[in-house]
């Protein structure tokens, strides 16, 4: 009996050590993420006179704006994506916090939420012989995801790291920073709705998905614009084939709230404006940023997820998260290369959806790679894994260069 008690106590102590090791990896990962992105944020908020100062000014004026069901009118222009400004305004109501500091707080919290979600997805994909080791690997991979960039090496001599590429991590735009965690969580609910074996609790899943859809759309409508056509088409296809699908979750958690909010935003943004509208204008915006190598830059943005999807084609086609991520990216890219805003085509506002959908694709293809290579009894990495790891390393190297330019330079001279 004494021996049994000793073994139980030893097991409890070992599990306690593993849990503490797991929490250390989470704390370390969040600390590094906050420091890296915090440095870039300080440069964007206080040095560069571009996106952040503009949104901070709008946050100050939010209470004076003219509210509509789809957004708010500030300084004579309609702002359909005002969630960031509203949150900054709310944080700035706290003692001793101004609007610039509020913008930093909101952006860092959004980045932390994204990092924790990515960490959770990668941690669950890894084998778990030891929580501390697995947690550390997941933390390192999360940091890689939050730093990757397109393979921009060919245009470094032109000081071109951004324009013309599809960049999954951007530092200069606060609304896309806020959108990323909402978009990833909404994507996960969309995957559950398509997976007949997921077994979600509709009493919770439908309202939570609806709230995520509304928040994501008011943060920035671009991801919802990409996701809705895909989910509507897949729902119709499942109905026609009489295949199982979570209809209430798709209809009432994603499609209906998304259509309502997007419809209101579209109406107040374009139908009430005489100077701006969405037009069909293939490659007009893309040529403004890259006149010669549009699709070469697209290919260089997709090397890692494309390589993983091709080399692991069969498991990729069986993984609803990978399929849905590619479909959403396809729709977002169609917006990028086929549409424009007549009043301000140079703003490139349709690029945001492609950036966020590509980030999600990088995450799910990395998870697929982990499951295929570490979920089986392999003695060493396969040639496919080494090829994908090499591609990821190149994305990381380009991402470090992109980060340094955004965190240290006083202007977008390397865009």
Give me the pLDDT at residue 21, please. 63
Domain assignment present for 304:
yes
Percentage, residues of the chain above pLDDT 90: 80
Structure-model confidence comparison of residues 344 and 82, the more confident one: 82
β-partners of residue 79 are: 72
What is the Cα–Cα distance from 72 to 176, expressed in whole angstroms?
A: 18
Domain assignment present for 245:
yes
Evaluate if residue 336 carries a pLDDT over 70: yes
What is the Cα–Cα distance from 182 to 298, expressed in whole angstroms?
A: 25
Give me the pLDDT at residue 245, please. 87
Q: Which residue intervals of 282-382 are DSSP H helices?
A: 284-289, 294-301, 303-311, 313-318, 320-338, 351-374
Q: How many CB atoms sit inside 10 A of residue 136's CB?
A: 18
Encode pLDDT of 266-276 as tens digits.
998 887 667 78
**139, 28 Cβ separation under 8 angstroms:** yes
Give me the pLDDT at residue 378, please. 61
Give me the pLDDT at residue 318, please. 95
Q: How many CB atoms sit inside 10 A of residue 381's CB?
A: 13
**402, 161 Cβ separation under 8 angstroms:** yes
Give me the pLDDT at residue 203, please. 82
Evaluate if residue 2 carries a pLDDT over 70: no
The distance of Cα 348 from the centroid of its chain, to the nearest Å, equals: 18
Mean pLDDT of 158-173: 97
Structure-model confidence comparison of residues 32 and 342, the more confident one: 32
Distances (CA, A) of 171 to 29, 134, 220: 18, 29, 15
What is the Cα–Cα distance from 32 to 98, expressed in whole angstroms?
A: 25
First to last CA, the chain: 70
Domain assignment present for 372:
yes
What is the Cα–Cα distance from 325 to 149, expressed in whole angstroms?
A: 18
Mean pLDDT of 13-27: 65
Residue 133: pLDDT band (50, 70, 90) is confident
Domain assignment present for 414:
no
Give me the pLDDT at residue 413, please. 86
Give me the pLDDT at residue 183, please. 98
Evaluate if residue 300 carries a pLDDT over 70: yes
**Count of domains observed in the chain:** 1
Mean pLDDT of 329-333: 98
Structure-model confidence comparison of residues 163 and 13, the more confident one: 163
Give me the pLDDT at residue 275, please. 78
Domain assignment present for 344:
yes
Evaluate if residue 13 carries a pLDDT over 60: no
State whether residue 222 is helix, strand or coil: helix
Residues in the chain, overall count: 415
Give me the pLDDT at residue 342, please. 87
Domain assignment present for 413:
no
CA angle 161, 412, 43 (to 5 degrees): 115
pLDDT averaged over every residue in the chain: 91
Evaluate if residue 374 carries a pLDDT over 60: yes
Domain assignment present for 13:
yes
Encode pLDDT of 205-251 as tens digits.
999 999 999 999 999 999 999 999 999 999 999 999 988 889 999 99
**346, 288 Cβ separation under 8 angstroms:** yes
- Both tokens of 229, joined, read 């056509």
Mean pLDDT of 318-346: 95
- Both tokens of 342, joined, read 């007549």
Least confident of 17-21, 228-232, 317-321, 376-380: 17-21
Mean pLDDT of 168-192: 97
Structure-model confidence comparison of residues 245 and 300, the more confident one: 300
Residue 247 domain boundaries:
2-408
């Amino acid at each position: 009996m004494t021996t049994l008690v000793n073994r139980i106590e030893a097991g409890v102590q070992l599990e306690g050590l593993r849990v503490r090791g797991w929490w250390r990896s989470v704390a370390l990962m969040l600390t590094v993420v906050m420091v890296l992105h915090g440095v870039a944020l300080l440069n964007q908020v206080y040095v560069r006179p571009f996106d952040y100062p503009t949104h901070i000014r709008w946050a100050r004026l939010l209470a004076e704006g003219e509210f509509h069901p789809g957004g708010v009118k500030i300084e004579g222009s309609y702002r359909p994506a005002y969630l960031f400004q509203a949150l900054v305004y709310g944080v700035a109501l706290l003692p001793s916090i101004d609007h610039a500091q509020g913008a930093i707080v909101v952006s860092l919290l959004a980045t932390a939420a994204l990092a924790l979600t990515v960490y959770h997805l990668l941690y669950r994909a890894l084998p778990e012989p030891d929580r501390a080791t697995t947690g550390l690997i997941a933390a390192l991979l999360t940091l890689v995801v939050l730093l990757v960039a397109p393979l921009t090496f060919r245009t470094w001599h032109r000081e071109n790291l951004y324009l013309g590429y599809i960049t999954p991590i951007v530092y200069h735009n606060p609304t896309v920073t806020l959108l990323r965690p909402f978009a990833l969580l909404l994507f996960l609910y969309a995957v559950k709705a398509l997976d007949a074996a997921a077994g979600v609790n509709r009493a919770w899943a439908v309202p939570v998905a609806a709230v995520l859809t509304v928040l994501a759309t008011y943060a920035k409508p671009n991801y919802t614009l990409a996701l809705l056509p895909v989910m509507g088409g897949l729902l119709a296809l499942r109905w026609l084939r009489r295949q199982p699908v979570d209809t209430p979750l798709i209809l009432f958690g994603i499609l209906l709230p998304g259509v309502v909010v997007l419809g209101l935003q579209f109406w107040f943004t374009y139908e009430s404006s005489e100077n701006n509208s969405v037009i069909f204008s293939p490659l007009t915006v893309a040529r403004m940023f890259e006149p010669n190598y549009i699709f070469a830059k697209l290919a260089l943005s997709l090397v890692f997820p494309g390589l993983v999807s091709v080399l692991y084609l069969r498991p990729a086609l069986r993984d609803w998260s990978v399929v849905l991520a590619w479909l959403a990216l396809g729709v977002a890219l169609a917006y990028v290369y086929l549409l424009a805003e007549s009043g301000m085509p140079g703003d490139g506002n349709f690029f945001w959806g492609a950036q966020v959908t590509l980030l999600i694709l990088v995450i799910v293809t990395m998870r697929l790679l982990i499951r295929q290579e570490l979920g089986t009894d392999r003695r060493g990495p396969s040639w496919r894994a080494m090829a994908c790891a090499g591609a990821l390393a190149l994305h990381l190297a380009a991402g470090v260069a992109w980060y340094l330019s955004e965190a240290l330079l006083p202007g977008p001279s390397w865009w």
